[in-house]
């Protein structure tokens, strides 16, 4: 299968017949790599380095004008035609529907899964990301701690919502592991790991979240996906 796209000028495909992933192992980026590992789809990962501003290169912008990762190019998209797709939530839905896995075909369970996916994209991810900025990065130099505390308090609230929901459940939607779990738990891991914000959010107050996070991180596909694409 052949395809042409300006992205290949910077990231040439060794296996052009495979789905192409352009990403970085961040909480949003690993959503795609974990899903691909779980689904067993053949794919070729390409590292988009923020250190060299790859995301602002003309080649990457030709794929995603919003200059964010992850993005994919599937040479075998709908109707057998190449498909370019960006936004991690959209990619998760597409991969699930392409394979018939990780997203229930039962309408009620499907929409419950999409509900939690949207909750992560609109709430948990942005709030955790802002907390990380104000706690670990440039924001930590600000004397006024009200912005940080705003995101701390909202992150605590969201963790409380998640903890309450997970009580008595194996995964977000009953016993069915799916794209909502893949969307949410990399962000939880990042909050208490890379952002070092466990004390700020009173991590010990969320035993159900901690329980499911441990099970999530024990999955072999998750362990692989968390390090894809490999950093140079």
**Gap between the Cα atoms of 21 and 100, Å rounded:** 20
Question: Is 63 a residue whose pLDDT tops 70?
Answer: yes
pTM of the model: 0.96
pLDDT at 163: 98
Question: Is 1 a residue whose pLDDT tops 80?
Answer: no
Domain ranges for the chain, please list them: 6-102, 107-221
Which segment of 11-25, 26-40, 144-158, 179-193 scores lowest on mean pLDDT?
Answer: 144-158
Percent of the chain exceeding pLDDT 70 equals: 99
Average pLDDT over residues 52-80: 96
Architecture label for domain 107-221: Up-down Bundle (1.20)
Question: Is 190 a residue whose pLDDT tops 90?
Answer: yes
Regarding beta strands 43-47 and 83-86, do their DSSP bridges make them parallel or antiparallel, or are they unpaired? unpaired
**Gap between the Cα atoms of 182 and 175, Å rounded:** 14
Pick the CATH number of 6-102 from 3.40.30.10, 3.40.190.10, 3.40.50.1370, 3.40.50.720: 3.40.30.10
In the Cβ-directed half-sphere of 74, how many Cα atoms lie within 13 Å? 17
């Amino acid at each position: 299968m052949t395809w042409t796209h300006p992205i290949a000028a910077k990231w040439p495909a060794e296996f052009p017949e495979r789905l192409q992933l352009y990403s970085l192992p961040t909480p949003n980026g690993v959503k795609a790599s974990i899903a691909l590992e779980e689904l067993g789809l053949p794919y070729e990962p390409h590292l988009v380095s923020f250190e060299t501003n790859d995301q602002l290169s003309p080649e990457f912008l030709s794929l995603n004008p919003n200059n964010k990762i992850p993005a994919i190019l599937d040479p075998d998209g709908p109707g057998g035609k190449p498909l370019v797709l960006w936004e991690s939530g959209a990619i998760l839905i597409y991969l699930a529907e392409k394979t018939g896995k990780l997203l229930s075909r039962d309408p009620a369970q499907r929409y419950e899964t999409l509900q939690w996916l949207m909750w992560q994209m609109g709430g948990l991810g942005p709030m955790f990301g802002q907390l990380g900025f104000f706690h670990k990065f440039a924001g930590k130099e600000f004397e006024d701690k009200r912005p940080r505390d705003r995101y701390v308090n909202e992150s605590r609230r969201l963790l409380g919502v998640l903890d309450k929901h997970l009580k008595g459940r194996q995964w977000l939607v009953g016993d069915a592991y799916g794209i909502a779990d893949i969307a949410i738990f990399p962000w939880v891991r990042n909050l208490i790991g890379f952002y070092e914000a466990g004390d700020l959010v009173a991590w010990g107050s969320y035993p159900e979240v901690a329980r499911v996070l441990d099970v999530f991180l024990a999955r072999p596909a998750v362990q692989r996906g968390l390090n894809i694409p490999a950093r140079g």
